[in-house]
Structures are given as C-alpha cells and as structure tokens.
Structure 1
Amino acid sequence: MVTVRRILPARLGAATFYRHVSHLALGTAVSQVVLVVASVLLARLYSPREFGEFAVILAVSTVVATAATLRLELAVPLAEDDREALAVATAAVWTVLAVAAALTAALVAFALWSPAGVDSLGAGSAAWLIPVTVAAAGTAAVGRMVRSRAGTFGVVSRSSVSSALVQSVGQVGAGLLGWGTPGLAGGYVAGRLWSAVVLLRGTGVRRTDGPLAWIRTVRRWRRFCVLSTVPAVLNTLGVAAIAPVVALCYGMTVSGLFLFATRILTLPVALVGQGVSAVLFPRMAELERTGGDLRGAVGRTVTGLTMLSVPTFGLVLLLGPELFGLAFGARWRDAGLTAALLAPWLTVSFVSSPISTLMTVKNQLHRLVVLSFVETGLRVGALSSGLLGGGPWLGIAAYSLAGTVICLYSVRWCLRLVGSGLRDWLRPRRRYVLTTAVAYPVLLALKGNLPVAAYLVLVALLTVGMAGWAAHWLYRNAPGRGRSVGREPGAGRAEMSVAR
C-alpha cells in the first residue's frame, strides 16, 4: 500500500499566490542565469550543426515523454483526495518507465537490423540517450505536479537551480573534451535525472499494490488520458519539437540556430511564466472544485503577464541579432535574427501558456483536441512556406505569425471560459495596448535609417518606459493595497457587462 501524505494545499489567497510565484521566480532566475552563462561557453564549444543534432534528439524525446505519461501528471491537482493523487502520480511514473524500456528495446532491434545502426537516425550515437531522456523528463514532470499540489514550491525552486548546475557543468565539461552532440545530450539528461530525483524524493510516489493498481488507476482516468494526450502531443509537435521539421526543410544548421534562439528566449518564459503556471493550475483546480470565482484571478494574470512580456520580447524584436552577436559571437547573429522573428509569437505565448491549463480545469478537452489538430497543421504549414520562396527566414516569420494568432485565440477562449472576453479585457487597458501596437513597429521601421547611437537611445527609452509602466501596475495591484482579490481598477464595468 502507498503511504498517503498530505499533499493538498490550503486555499491560496492573493498574498500566498504572489509569494509562491516569487519563490519559484527566484529559483528559476538563478537556474536560468546559470544556463545563459553556460550558453556563452557552449556557443564557443559546439557548432550550430551540433546544436541541430541535439535539437532532433530533444524533440523526439519531448514528444515521446509527453505521450508516455498519458498526461496523468495533470490529473494530480484534479484528484479529489490525497490517496487518489498519489495513485495517479505513481501510475504516471511507471507508465513512463515502461515506455522508456520499450523504446530501448526498439533501438536495440533497429541497431541489429540496420547496417548503419542508430547513426542512420540522424543524431549519431547520441540516439541511445533518447530512452533515458524520456524517463527523466517524464518523471520530473510528474514530480513537479505533485509538488505543486502540495504547495512545496521551495523544493521545485531548489530542483530548478541544482538541475541547471548539473546540466551546465555536464555540457561544458563534455564540450571541453570534444564529445560533440553526445556531450550536449548527456549533460541535458543528467540535469533532468537530478531534477526527477529531487522532486520525487519523499513524496510517497512509489510502487503501490502492483500492476493491478496501475491498471485500475489508468482505467479510472482513461477519458482524461485520451482527450488530454492527443492535444498535448500535437502542441509539442508544433512548438517544443519543431526542430526536426526545421531540419527537414532548411537543414541541420538552421535547426541548431532555431534551438539556440529558443534556448535563450526561454529565460523570461521560465522566470515568470512557468512559476505562474505551476501555482495557478492547482489554484484554478481548487477554485473549480469549490465553486469559487476564477474570473478575477485569470484577468489579473493576463494583464500582469502582458505587461511583463512586451518590454522583454520587444527588446529582442528590436535588437535580436546585435544582442546575440555581442553575447555569443558573430556566428550566432542569425540565431538573434531567428529570435527577433519569433518575438511577436513569444510575447503572446508568454501570456497564453500559463492560463491554458484552464481548459483542462473546465473540461474543454474535446474542443482542445480539435484546436490542436488545426494548430499543428497551421504551424507546420507556415514553417514550410519558406520552401516556396524566401528561404528559412520567411518560413520562421510565418511560423511566428501563425503562433501569434493561435495564442491570441487561446487567451480569448480562456477569458470567455471565466465569463469575460478579449474586448472586455482590452477596454481598460487600451492605452497600453495602443502604445505597444504603434511604438514597436515604428521603431523597427526606423532601424537602419537612424544613426546607431540614436536608435539605441530610443530602444532604451521605450524599453524602460514600458517596463516602468508594468512595474507601476504590479505595485498598484499588489496584495495588501486595499483591493479585493482578482479585481482591477477600471475592470468592474467590463466584467459586469459580460455577466449572465
């Protein structure tokens, strides 16, 4: 029998929510600083092609790991009691390990059958690391959700920092030894394994009553597994695992530039977005179970994330190639161009990703499946459009535009699920949105037509101004300043207008 531990948190008030997010953000900030510093070294130890081969391994592992858990980790915060939550988490872990074992057997069979062995898969001998990467990534995802339900975000924060150190030391050390792609993949695997151990240790997630208990748990949640795994895999194929499509269309070097750009751009996403998502999902699940009002929490989250994302990715849009060339060397300027092209999508994705779990909480899985098919087809089709003319940069720009449209639709959908709407959300924030929509395109159009010093001054002024605007809003809406939780100045009339 499993040892049942208390993993259901007390209700989260606004102050507790902000404290948890701050705790996660601090740990994630340290871990991302470690990864960015390591990236400066890795850019000089590995070539874009080696990053491209690593991107293929990472993409395949991510897709398989997403499917391997059957998305049972998302059911952990939704479980009615602690015993069920632990049973679900344990079933997810054993499912991942079973898939990893089957994948290892498949690679062995392929190596024996193919004259060229696993090297013919396009990633060299590093392909042998795919099964252990799947096992590590899947179990770490389960551990993160168990910790999120428990509210022990300090453990999540420590695991982020320590796993980043393990990964960075491993990748840098392997690079100094000249191990190439296997070194990049091996360091990543070491970091994920460390994270999984730290997150799952002491949670009570272990073998329960044997295979029958695992089968019973999966059967109880089979509908959730089917309806949530399909869109998750499709979304992974269209976003996190797009590298093989990039490599197929434009070559391994462009795939490496794409991976390196997204690696750096995950700093702000991981710093705030993942922290908000980790805290918001169990909170929304609790509010849904208890009949609480989700509208205020979602509205404030959308506003805060919007104000943080604009100056962050706006700077990348305006100075991407220059920043990457300065930090990582001239051969990575094209990665900076890739980052600039992806910036509009990442600005909106920074907002939509943390709140997208509301669709699971609200049991909108059928519609999510349909949307995922449309989304994946649109993203892949947009990315491959460069083959018709314009090359990889046109394809990446089209991919970014498609992602922007999809993420805007996702935000609109989430707002409607809580009784609001995109138009109602925009009304009290129209000055900020209008300033963003005018200032960044105008400044980008002036690039190359102004002296470099004057352009840099204008970029700095715009970035500081938008960041100050965000800081002012966050200060005015901080807990303890006399406003009710989930309400914003000027939002009352808009919210009342959509009440039914």
Structure 2
Amino acid sequence: MLFDKLKSIRKGQSEFTKNVATVMFGTAIAQAVPVLVSPIITRVYTPEDIGVFTLVMSVISFCAVVGSGRYEVAIMIPNDNVVARNLVAIAHFLGFIFCLILGIVVLTAHDAVGDILGLNPKDRHWLYWIPVYTFLAIYQQTLILYTARLKKFKVVALNKMGKTISMSVTQVIMGISKITGGLIWGNFVGGVTSVIFLKRKLKKLYNLQTPRNYLNTAKEYSKFPKYSLLADSINSFSNHVPIVMMIRFFSEGTAGYFGFTQRILSLPLGLIASSFTEVFRQRASEDYNKFGSCRPIYLKTLKKLSLISIPSFAVLALIAPQLFAFIFGAEWYESGRYASILSFMFALRFIASPLSYVLYVVGKQKYDLIWQVCLAVVTIVSFWAGGKLNNPELALWSFSLSYSFLYIIYILMSYRFSKER
C-alpha cells in the first residue's frame, strides 16, 4: 500500500515530520486532481460561472464560521476526550440552529439578499441551498478537527483524497454535460463524501450527558464565541467580501478571473500549509499544556514553511500571466496578471496561516480580534477605492500590499506569544 511504503521511508524522522508527511502525502494526491482538471474546468465553464460559484462558496464559508460559535476550534485543547466530544456536540447543535434561522431569512428575504450580493436574478436560486451547504460545512470541519485530535492523520489524508476527487470528477462530468451549476454541485458531492467517510471512521462522537454538562463545557470555552467568533467572522468577511465587491463594482466575469486566481494560488495552502496546520494544531496544544511553551515547534514550522513558500511564489510572480494562458487557455491570461499581483501576499499567508493557531492555544484571542478588524478595514478600503476608480488592478495592488504588511505583523505576534504561559 502507498501509506505502508511512505511509513518505511519515514523511519528515523520526528513524530511531527512523520505526521506532516502523512497528511501531505494524501493531500498531494488529492490536490493533483484539481490541478489536472483545471485546464478542463476553464474550458467547460465561463469566467461568469466561476464568479457565481466563488460567490456562493464565499457566503457558505462565512456562514460556516459564524454558525458554529467557533467551538470546534477548541476541540484540540482539552486534555480529556470527553470534553472534546462535548465541544463537537455543541458546535453541531449551534450550527443546526443557525442554519434553521438562515433558511428562514433566505425564504423571506430572497430578493433582498440577492441584491446585497449583486447576484443576477437568474442565479439567485442558489441562495436556497446555502443553509444546507452551510450545515454540511460545519459538520464536516468539526469531524476533521476531532479526527486530527485523535492523531488519525492517515484518516485525515484519505478524507482529503476522497473529498477532492469526488468533487473534481463531478464538476468535470457536469460541466461537459452542460448541467447548470456543476461547480456548486461538485462541491456538495465532495462534502457529503467527506462526512460519510469520517463518520464511518469515528467510533464514538457524542457523549450521553445532561444539558448541564454541555452548558458547563460551553462556559469553560466561552472565549471562543466571545473573541474567536468575532475575529474569525471578520477574517472570513475579509477573505470573501472581495468577490462580492468585484461583482458589484465590476462584473461576474471579473469576479470569475479573481476567484480562479485565488483558487489556483490557494492550492499550495490546501496541499502543504493545511498539512502543517493539522499537525501543528495538535502538537502546539500538547506542548503548551505540558511545558507552557510551543516555541520550538513554532520555529521549526516557521522555517519549513518559509523555505517552501518564498522561492515558489517569487518564481510564480514572474511567470504567472504566461503560465496561466498556456495551461488554462488564452482567455485566462488576465487571471495570471492577477496572480502576479497577489503572489507576495499569498506567500506570507502560506506562512502565517498554520502558525496563527498559537493565539488560540495561549488564549490571546483579543489580539487576533484587533488584527482581524484591521484586515477587514484595509480590504473594504482597497476594493472600494478600486471600484470607485473603475480599476480592478488598483484594488488588487492595494489589497495585496496591505495584507502583506498585516501578515508580517501577525507572524511576529504569534512568535511573541508562542512562549507565554
């Protein structure tokens, strides 16, 4: 088996490196599929299709952050698995209630929501599916985090493979068949595949306890809805509002170019950085609980991420327009130009994203909240200025440089707190 061969290669390595390699190996296979099908995706779907898909997924991602109360982020922290399972149940319960309310809002204010998002009337039927997709996303992310807590990194890797392959295959088949919304339906199929697989691998997920026990757990980890919920909601807003503003100020096509650029540049985040994240979360929490510091594993992770990120994105910045046109078709040269502008920002995001969990481990969510507010402000100002001047490149340059500066601050801040008890 592939994983058995990988195990023999990894003999003598540290546990951290082994776990990262396990997750990365499965993720590499999973991410190879979207890379291979991207030239097909760009030929069977239009920039407008990708723009609508990116917008809908952005709304779902934002709602998934809000709906769980961020209790799932705390799953790694408790020493006791019983408490961790309580957090799983709390996140699922809050997510279900939130999605019920969201469904009522969509049903009663369908056109108003569509106007706010800038969706064309012909695409607004997708709004009805957002509550369902949101709960699926919350449920899926919670299962992934609990699986990682149990150090079942092989399961995490296999899950990534199954989800991405089923999603990509569905998107290609539906695109070739000219079925409307193939990109969105493919994402749904991938999510369902992930949930079914993880549920089969987790023997015990919930505790049979009194409501008071769940309430006590919720109170014990109340910092997460108090601070992390707002901070992460602002972060999600900052990440996804550019698509909304691109559509409102420019067009679905321009948003499609931008969304596709983000999708391609995010592949290294999904392939490598997320593999580090899954393992770093568990190891940083464990080290901090034992020793009062996670500085050694922080520095080790920082060094490895930097050596991968900086050279790779520097090369991409130079050749992106020509590379995009060659691989994805001449129509996507514009996306390549966007990629050149955003490369430095994504290089720093690649480094900062896994390390950001330090602030959760040491309970410094207030600092994260302040940083997220700054991020939201520069995002809105950047795209508003570019929109008013009808200049998408100006918006992207301002966006990229502002984000880069804030990511540097975040890396320094997480380093500072990695040794605080």
Partner SS, residue 80 of structure 1: coil
Structure 1 match to 2:26? 27
- 2:330 is the counterpart of 1:336: no
Deviates more, 1:390-399 or 1:41-50: 390-399
Distance in 2 of aligned mates of 1:72 and 1:219: 11
Partner deviation per Cα, 1:430-487 (whole Å, 9 max, x = no partner) = xxxxxxxxxxxxxxxxxxxxxxxxxxxxxxxxxxxxxxxxxxxxxxxxxxxxxxxxxx
Contact 1:171–1:183 (CA<8 Å) still a contact in 2? yes
- Once the two structures are TM-superposed, the CA of residue 59 in structure 1 deviates from its matched residue by 0.9
Structure 2 match to 1:369? 369
Distance in 1 of aligned mates of 2:212 and 2:161: 37
1:123 to 1:59, Cα distance in 2 relative to 1, 3 A = farther
Q: Which aligned pairs between 1:106-255 and structure 2 lie closer than 5 A? A: 106-110=105-109, 123-180=123-180, 182-201=181-200, 202-206=202-206, 208-209=208-209, 214-255=214-255
- Once the two structures are TM-superposed, the CA of residue 127 in structure 1 deviates from its matched residue by 2.0
Distance in 2 of aligned mates of 1:80 and 1:416: 24
Partner deviation per Cα, 1:43-62 (whole Å, 9 max, x = no partner) = 11111011111111111111
- Listed as ranges, the gaps of 5+ residues in structure 2 are 1-11
Partner deviation per Cα, 1:69-117 (whole Å, 9 max, x = no partner) = 111111111113110001111211222222223322332333599999x
Deviates more, 1:246-255 or 1:273-282: 246-255
1:142 to 1:241, Cα distance in 2 relative to 1, 3 A = farther
More helix by share: 2
Q: Please say which structure displays the higher CA radius of gyration.
A: 1
Q: Which aligned pairs between 1:66-465 and structure 2 lie closer than 5 A? A: 66-110=65-109, 123-180=123-180, 182-201=181-200, 202-206=202-206, 208-209=208-209, 214-389=214-389, 391-418=391-418
- Listed as ranges, the gaps of 5+ residues in structure 1 are 1-12, 421-500
Contact 1:53–1:122 (CA<8 Å) still a contact in 2? no
- Once the two structures are TM-superposed, the CA of residue 169 in structure 1 deviates from its matched residue by 1.6
Partner deviation per Cα, 1:179-213 (whole Å, 9 max, x = no partner) = 23x22111111111221232243242247447665
Distance in 2 of aligned mates of 1:45 and 1:96: 35
Distance in 2 of aligned mates of 1:25 and 1:52: 29
Deviates more, 1:381-390 or 1:135-144: 381-390
For 1:347, the aligned partner's letter is: A
1:419 to 1:159, Cα distance in 2 relative to 1, 3 A = closer
Distance in 2 of aligned mates of 1:34 and 1:320: 20
Distance in 1 of aligned mates of 2:80 and 2:99: 29
Partner SS, residue 143 of structure 1: helix
Partner SS, residue 178 of structure 1: coil
Distance in 2 of aligned mates of 1:310 and 1:390: 32
Distance in 1 of aligned mates of 2:112 and 2:292: 58
Partner deviation per Cα, 1:331-381 (whole Å, 9 max, x = no partner) = 111111111111000111111111000011111111211221111101221
Distance in 2 of aligned mates of 1:385 and 1:396: 10
- Once the two structures are TM-superposed, the CA of residue 170 in structure 1 deviates from its matched residue by 1.5
Structure 1 match to 2:50? 51
Distance in 1 of aligned mates of 2:245 and 2:159: 32
Distance in 1 of aligned mates of 2:96 and 2:223: 22
Distance in 1 of aligned mates of 2:112 and 2:257: 33
Contact 1:56–1:123 (CA<8 Å) still a contact in 2? no
Distance in 1 of aligned mates of 2:381 and 2:34: 32
- Once the two structures are TM-superposed, the CA of residue 312 in structure 1 deviates from its matched residue by 1.6
Partner SS, residue 269 of structure 1: helix
For 1:221, the aligned partner's letter is: Y
Contact 2:362–2:418 (CA<8 Å) still a contact in 1? no
Distance in 2 of aligned mates of 1:412 and 1:113: 42
For 1:80, the aligned partner's letter is: N
Distance in 1 of aligned mates of 2:143 and 2:114: 40
For 1:278, the aligned partner's letter is: E
For 1:72, the aligned partner's letter is: Y
Supply the RMSD in Å over aligned alpha carbons. 2.4
Contact 1:137–1:196 (CA<8 Å) still a contact in 2? no
1:17 to 1:184, Cα distance in 2 relative to 1, 3 A = same
1:115 to 1:266, Cα distance in 2 relative to 1, 3 A = closer
1:206 to 1:294, Cα distance in 2 relative to 1, 3 A = closer
Partner deviation per Cα, 1:144-188 (whole Å, 9 max, x = no partner) = 1101110001111111111111111211122122223x2211111
Distance in 1 of aligned mates of 2:49 and 2:372: 31
Number of aligned positions between the proteins: 406
For 1:289, the aligned partner's letter is: N
Deviates more, 1:331-340 or 1:204-213: 204-213
Contact 1:88–1:217 (CA<8 Å) still a contact in 2? yes
1:109 to 1:212, Cα distance in 2 relative to 1, 3 A = farther
- The two structures have a TM-score, normalised by structure 2, of 0.90
- Once the two structures are TM-superposed, the CA of residue 275 in structure 1 deviates from its matched residue by 0.6
1:200 to 1:94, Cα distance in 2 relative to 1, 3 A = farther
Distance in 2 of aligned mates of 1:148 and 1:92: 16
Contact 1:129–1:186 (CA<8 Å) still a contact in 2? no
Distance in 1 of aligned mates of 2:122 and 2:413: 39
Distance in 1 of aligned mates of 2:325 and 2:171: 21
Distance in 1 of aligned mates of 2:214 and 2:106: 26
1:39 to 1:296, Cα distance in 2 relative to 1, 3 A = same
